[in-house]
Amino acid sequence: MNQLQAAFYEGNQRIRIGACTPVPPGASEVQIRVSYCGICGTDLHVFHGAMDHRVHIPQVLGHEMSGTVVTAGASVQSFAPGDRVTVRPLAPCGHCPACHAGHSHICHNLKFIGIDAPGALQSLWTVPVHTLHRLPESLSLEQGALVEPIAVACHDVRLGGVASGEYVVVLGGGPIGLLVALVTRSRGARVVVSEVNPFRIKLAREFGLDVVNPLETDLVQKIMDETGTAGADVVFEVSGSAAGAEMLTKIPRTRGRIVVVAIFSQPPKIDLFRFFWRELQLRGARVYEPEDFEAAIALAASGSLPLDRIVTAIQPLEALAEAMHELEGGGPVMKILVRCAES
């Protein structure tokens, strides 16, 4: 029998690998053997202590995962041991105004599993059954761990209303920006990615994406040239940078749509005059709804996304802290998966 392990965040960039304490599933819960868990930008924020007010140290992080059901609670009918699954890690309260309005994914009291509750970076993980989505046989468990970030991208693209034939710009070519661009392309739209990191630029170009380094190329001019001076139909702000906040009003067409995906920890200056002048539209997009997970699974299973190449490394649980530092280094890395238990 393999040893059951867990990675505990213990504050201030400290990760301790220790024994996983399996939690017996309640009536509406399942226990999952976690195969892979991806590392997300949010995990990096937690690692650096920026979210210590939300986590409970020692805290198991992680929410981009794949695994297999080990035990199902007494009331669980829709899933059984052996089922390959991923988890939509949201636990809404069910009774706040957002939940009543049908926006439970952004519930006023939302618990994000992996931040506000123990996460997937452990061998055995117990979660409510309502969070599960089944992985088809055609999807490997490695690929299944990418469903969560693909669902983010599917949500963003859906809220952006991207239609076939539209001209779309993605500001920022990290994992989410890249997936937004790939999902956009899968919808039949023309997409341009703006990114400054050389490795990210190279990788995105290998995927056949049109990538511009705005420090070298005049992005506004390129877009105006390619749209007959109309501007872009849709702009996704995934960089979280002041440069992105400034760019986002310069490039959309009249009534163009802007989707804010990135987290801006400080309010940037925004050209509201341009919103008025061009009747621009902006909306924020956060996490996902169940249909976005289903769309992500279908898209991943279609084989049309270069998922295996987005994963630039698979590391053992013991290498978690090292992997986190690597992700921050700006080097040749896109998505790192962590192996949590033997499949």
Rule CB under 8 A: say whether 103 interacts with its own copies.
yes
Length of the chain: 343
Task: Determine whether 227 is an active site residue.
Answer: no
Beta carbon of residue 80, minimum distance to its own copies (angstroms, whole number):
35
Closest C-alpha among 117, 53, 59, 120 to residue 86: 120
Binding flags for its own copies, 217-236, as an x/- string (CB under 8 A): ----------xxxxx-----
Provide the minimum distance between the beta carbon of 326 and its own copies in the complex, in angstroms, as a whole number.
26
* Binding positions for its own copies, 280-319, rule CB under 8 A: 280-286
Pick the catalytic residue from 21, 45, 48, 105.
45
For position 272 contacting its own copies by CB under 8 A, the verdict is yes
For residue 145, give the DSSP letter: T
Q: Least distance (Å) from its own copies to the CB of residue 254?
A: 4
Short-list 98, 236, 220, 229, CA closest to 159: 236
- CA angle, residues 188, 335, 1, in degrees to nearest 5: 125
- For its own copies, the binding residue among 2, 3, 82, 276 (CB under 8 A) is 276
253 sits near its own copies (criterion: CB under 8 A): yes
Q: Considering the complex, what minimum distance in angstroms separates the CB of residue 197 from its own copies?
A: 22
The answer to whether residue 45 forms part of the interface with its own copies (CB under 8 A) is no
Q: What is the footprint of its own copies within residues 49-78 (CB under 8 A)?
A: none
Q: Which residues pair with 191 in a beta bridge?
A: 168
User: What 3-state class would DSSP assign to 251?
Assistant: coil
Query: How many residues bind to its own copies according to rule CB under 8 A?
Result: 45
Q: Which is nearer to its own copies, 176 or 336 (CB)?
A: 176
Binding of residue 243 to its own copies (CB under 8 A) = no
How many Å apart are CA 254 and CA 196, to the nearest integer? 27
Q: Are 211 and 193 in contact (CB under 8 A)?
A: yes
Which range of residues in 165-173, 205-213, 262-270, 331-339 is near its own copies by CB under 8 A? 262-270
Residue 56 or 108 having the CB closest to its own copies: 108
Quick one: which of 242, 340, 265, 333 has its CA closest to 51? 265
Q: Which is nearer to its own copies, 159 or 305 (CB)?
A: 159
Q: Shortest gap between Cβ of 276 and its own copies (angstroms)?
A: 4
Identify whether the C-beta of residue 85 lies closer than 8 Å to the C-beta of residue 69. yes
Residue by residue, what is the 3-state secondary structure of 170-224? EECCCHHHHHHHHHHHHCCCEEEEECCCHHHHHHHHHCCCEEECCCCCCHHHHHH
184 is catalytic: no
112, 199, 207, 264: which one contacts its own copies (CB under 8 A)? 264
β pairing state of 64-72 and 29-38: antiparallel
Please state, in angstroms and rounded to a whole number, the distance separating the CA atoms of residues 316 and 92.
32
Binding residue (CB under 8 A) for its own copies from 82, 164, 208, 273: 273
CB of 271 to its own copies, least distance (A): 4
Contact yes or no for 337/142 (Cβ under 8 A): yes
**8 Å CB contact between 261 and 180:** yes
Q: For residue 31, what are the CA distances in angstroms to 23, 116, 263, 293?
A: 8, 18, 32, 20
List the interface residues with its own copies, window 142-161 (CB under 8 A). 159
Among 274, 301, 306, 332, indicate the residue that binds its own copies (CB under 8 A). 274
Closest contact distance (angstroms) between CB of 97 and its own copies is 3
- Active-site positions? 42, 45
Chain residues in the site for its own copies (CB under 8 A): 96-98, 100-101, 103, 106, 108, 159, 227-231, 237, 245, 253-255, 260-265, 267-286
